[in-house]
Amino acid sequence: GKSLGAAWYLPEERQITTKAQLLDEMCAALGGRAAEEVIFGEVSTGALNDLEKVTKQAFAMVAYYGLSEKIGNLSFYDSSGQQEYAFSKPFSEKTNEVIDHEIREMVENAYARAKKIIAENKDHLEQLANRLLEREVIFSDDLVEIFGKRPWGETLSIKDHLASSSQKRSKRIAAKENGTGTKEEKGKPAASKKSITKKEGKLPKTNEIPHGSSSTDKTA
């Protein structure tokens, strides 16, 4: 299409997002605009979509998710959908000014952080640009080769965490059965296994039960 560049990320198995993650996403989205200013000394209109995304995300953080210290744990989100037909906002003009200030400060901080990261990694950025000119498409391995591994290590997905927990649990059970578990595990009583057997045979028909007797034994 008409896009000057795009980045695709593997989907993450998460239902909630922390404030730090949202700020990281904003910083990453402003990386293109920051690179223009740091490398060329001027900016262009190419970051329109990024600016729109960042502005909406900052507004949601402040007005919807309660992630602003000055607004506090308030949410002006209307799940009923009737707010769009209202002629007045659900907050005062003073609160509106605070929201505007918080949004602007949040975006500016993310932009300043992006410029700082770009300036500190200017040489690596040039290598990345040359690699893109050469191959047009690059992958995560190329980023690791240029920038190195992430300083905080690889993050595990929920699926990886579950698999790791399952493996640890299987090892504990195997160690306990072999008598090589820890003192705490050895001290725990083993779960009793009860075998339930069912007597084979056919139940007598109703007309075969003698009168005056019961089909079940009664004990005092």
Q: How far is CA 153 from CA 16, 54, 125, 159, in A?
A: 21, 27, 21, 17
Residue 3 forms part of a structural domain: no
Domain of residue 25, CATH code: 1.20.58.760
Q: pLDDT, tens digit, for every residue of 79-91?
A: 887 766 666 788 8
Residue 6 forms part of a structural domain: no
Residue 174 forms part of a structural domain: no
Residue 178 forms part of a structural domain: no
Q: How far is CA 8 from CA 16, 51, 109, 144, in A?
A: 20, 18, 25, 16
Residue 216 forms part of a structural domain: no
pLDDT of amino acid 195: 43
Domain that holds residue 114: 19-79+88-158
Rounded Cα gap, residues 4 and 46, in angstroms: 8
Phi-psi region of 136 (alpha: psi -120 to 50; beta: other; left: phi over 0): left
Which ranges of the chain have pLDDT less than 70?
Answer: 1-14, 83-87, 152-165, 180-220
Q: pLDDT, tens digit, for every residue of 135-175?
A: 988 888 888 899 888 776 665 555 565 666 677 778 778 88
Count of CB atoms situated within 10 Å of the CB of 33: 21
How far does Cα 154 stand from its chain's mean position? 14
Mark out the alpha helices in 149-216 (DSSP H runs).
Answer: 158-178, 183-187
Evaluate if pTM is beyond 0.75.
no
Residue 189 forms part of a structural domain: no
pLDDT of amino acid 161: 55
Residue 10 forms part of a structural domain: no
